[in-house]
Chains A and B, each alone.
Chain A
Amino acid sequence: MIAYIVRRALYALPILVGVNVLTFSLFFIVNSPDDIARMQLGDRHITQQQVDAWKRERGYDRPLFYNAAAAGAARLSDTIFFDESLRLFVFEFGRSDSGRDIGHDIRQRMWPSLAIAVPTLLIGILVNITFALIMVFFRATYVDFWSVMLCIVLMSVSGLFYIIGGQYAVGKLLKLVPISGYYGGWSAFRFVLLPVVIGVVSGIGAGSRWYRTIFLEEAGKDYVRTARARGVGEFTVLFRHILPNALIPILTGVVVILPLLFMGSLIIESFFGIPGLGSYTIDAIARQDFSIVRSMVFLGSVLYIAGLLLTDISYTFVDPRVRLG
């Protein structure tokens, strides 16, 4: 098991290197540090001295890959690539373009993100499984047909509509919960409630339709037919036979996104003013703070790969047929 995990982690390395090189070339080669400096300084009438000073402050005045002026190992290490990209591998994110410590920001902002994302995921799964089970119980009837139609209709509504509509109806008309904002501790509940509900509702369409397909796939298998032939009731078949077996693909599908929950939801967080990582990214995009965007891209892909690894490991727990070697 441990050997497997180590091997998988080693497999992940070239991919992370690829991501790193890709983001680096995106952020430093497509546009030179000079361009970035000019944009950050804002003015069109700035002097080259100002640009140089800005670059020196952040260490962007060095060569990209190879520093011929330095001696020994510093030829490779005293470059932008080494400083900005390779340091990401040990999760040193450095400072943002506006001078704040990115690592510190991430550690602080991760909690509000989790406060939204974890309940949304858990409640979402419960709700979706319930709806999917109802649809499967009534399969091949009008209930099933119209439920699928309803799912497609729900899927077709833009997520933005759920957010704007929900905010307007619940926050402004009914004045039940604050429209936006966040406060730590137990009072966070009031702020978290609406985003979570909206997150769950906007996911119902696609989620329950997907789970329905998984359940139906299980329902067509031989062991289910055998169970029915033995005279097991439909309810028992559904809960004792189909549900546990269908949970395997559902669970593994959920495990993939578990690490990504840290990243938060871009849109919901920024709409509700939650100070999480999602709104952090959005703000960085709006302010065109490339250091932050670059860090988040790298963090996101690390978490994604971690999710894949977790998925494979979780298979061994839920499915005894799978052995990792």
Chain B
Amino acid sequence: MPVVLLTDAFFFALIALTALYAFYVSRRPHLQAAWRKLARDRSAMVSLTVIAFYFAVALLDSLHFRPLIETAETAQGGEAVYSNEVVSVFDRLVSPLGERFEKTYSAPLAVRGYVKEMVEEDGVRRHIYPRLQYGGAALAEPDLAAADIARRAAVWGLAGLLACAALLALVCAVVAGPRRAPAAMRAVVRNATGGLPLRAVAVTIALIVVAVFITAGIGREYHLLGTDKIGGDVLYQALKSVRTGFLIGTLTTLIMLPFALALGVCAGYFLGWVDDVIQYLYTTLNSIPGVLLVAAMVLMLQLYMDQHGDRFNDLVTRADTRLLFLCAILGITSWTGLCRLLRAETLKVREMDYIDAARALGVARPLILLRHVLPNVMHIVVITVALDFSGLVLAEAVLSYVNIGVDPAMHSWGNMINSARLEMAREPAVWWPLLAAMVFLFGLVLCANLFADGVRNAFDPRSEWNRS
């Protein structure tokens, strides 16, 4: 039975809106110039490919459902019984990953535990590192683990490469037609694709696919990134955190966008008292240090949710509501910057001749705003959205560390890093959860930053002059 959580609904709305904007742009050639320029930027396109991978994980993890419980009744055609637990399509795809729990910490790819235990072997009690329940359990002899892992990596890596080649052939056949597919493939390999960095994108996709294949091959039998305190797979947690990070980065923008757009454009277009009020509003909000405002609001939210516990009794709903409110709170603190930029840009646009012409022709004010002003300030929105994304993802980690971030029960990089503080103090240090969270976080933020750079170069009229 499908379940749509609140954040899921917002996420789908965001995707629909993006698709709508893409459709709008695709029918207006003058808006396409900047996107064309972006499409020729190699580092931006490679980053976009990686972001798309993160996005795919986030999307799959947003398709929630309650699994059917197999009972004797349902088998005989009785009423279907659904589990109380909400799982996502992603959980099912990586199926054994989230369900295998060791006793406690274990290092990446380990076959033995991290803590010594008393184990009885052949009637003798010994203090040793015990074998893991799942990691490398199929091996008869634990010393063979390295060879087994290498063999798996090689076999699955090769399978991944073959899959890539098949994928490339398929895409070329679909795009260029079956008969011209070999020529199209050659063009991609030689990078003779009319300035579009298709070869770089293809190589990135290939690397991702091979990495996924190898991860899948090894992850089935071992804990690729080790396990955490309660024995959960760290790789699984890092992957589940993708959704949280991605949602914080995008939903915040989605929630604040209507306010920033409406207020910024109105302030810049109408001037007078409207401008004064809106300026006062964002100056006031802006003068409160961001972290403190977020802290104050989250504290209040926490207290509210504690007092009205009956409305948030479900663990999943609770975590989900908190995530949504966190996005809204971050939106409240971050719309001011965009609003100011939009106001300034509208001030410029309203003096343009085409606005005068529209006014002279007697076009109604709302229509002028909607059809003439709004499309011409959209580049500011695109740049800001791209630039804000990485900052928001990083902010989540910091906020979770201060305990004013997402629900502690939710998978997030911030929560992983937070628990890593104590783990690093252990002897020997438990470094893998921290490293896993950092690597995944770094990958997303780096790509977002590179992509934002490309977006700014393509959309900002000042950028060419800036690069001198």
Contact = CB atoms under 8 A, between A and B. Distances in A.
B280 A23 contact: no
Nearest to A286: B403
A26 B296 contact: yes
Contact of A160 (B306, B398, B425): B398
A210 to B, nearest CB: 12
Interface in A8-38: 14-15, 18-19, 22-23, 26-27, 30-31, 35-36, 38
A168 B289 CA distance: 30
A294 B296 contact: yes
Contacts of B352: none
Classify the secondary structure of B's interface with A. Answer: helix
B390 A156 contact: yes
Interface in B386-408: 390, 394, 397-398, 401-404
B292 A159 contact: no
A158 B417 CA distance: 10
Contact of A290 (B285, B299, B438, B442): B299
Contacts of B445: 156-158
A109 B385 CA distance: 38
Contact of A297 (B293, B307, B401, B424): B293
A164 B441 CA distance: 15
Interface string A292-307: 0110110011001100
Contacts of A156: 390, 442, 445-446, 448-449
B80 interface: no
Interface residues of A, number: 54
A220 B296 contact: no
B468 interface: yes
A285 B402 contact: yes
A101 B296 CA distance: 20
A300 B78 CA distance: 63
A22 B284 contact: yes
B394 A159 contact: yes
A139 interface: yes
Interface residues of B, number: 48
A267 B425 CA distance: 18
Interface string A216-252: 1101100000000000000000000000000000000
B302 to A, nearest CB: 8
B189 interface: no
A266 interface: yes
B284 A15 contact: yes
Given A30-B304, A217-B466, A260 B289 contact: yes
Given A160-B397, A305-B287, A27 B466 contact: no
Given A267-B398, A304-B289, A160 B304 contact: no
A134 to B, nearest CB: 17
A304 B434 contact: no
Contact of B292 (A35, A172, A216, A281): A281
Contacts of B442: 156-158, 161
B150 interface: no
A35 B466 CA distance: 54
Interface of B: 280, 283-285, 287-289, 291-293, 295-297, 299-300, 302-304, 306-307, 390, 394, 397-398, 401-404, 417, 420-421, 424-425, 429, 434, 438, 441-442, 445-446, 448-450, 453, 465-468
Given A27-B296, A172-B429, A216-B468, 11 more contacts: A31-B307, A152-B446, A152-B450, A158-B394, A158-B417, A158-B442, A267-B398, A286-B403, A288-B299, A290-B299, A297-B293
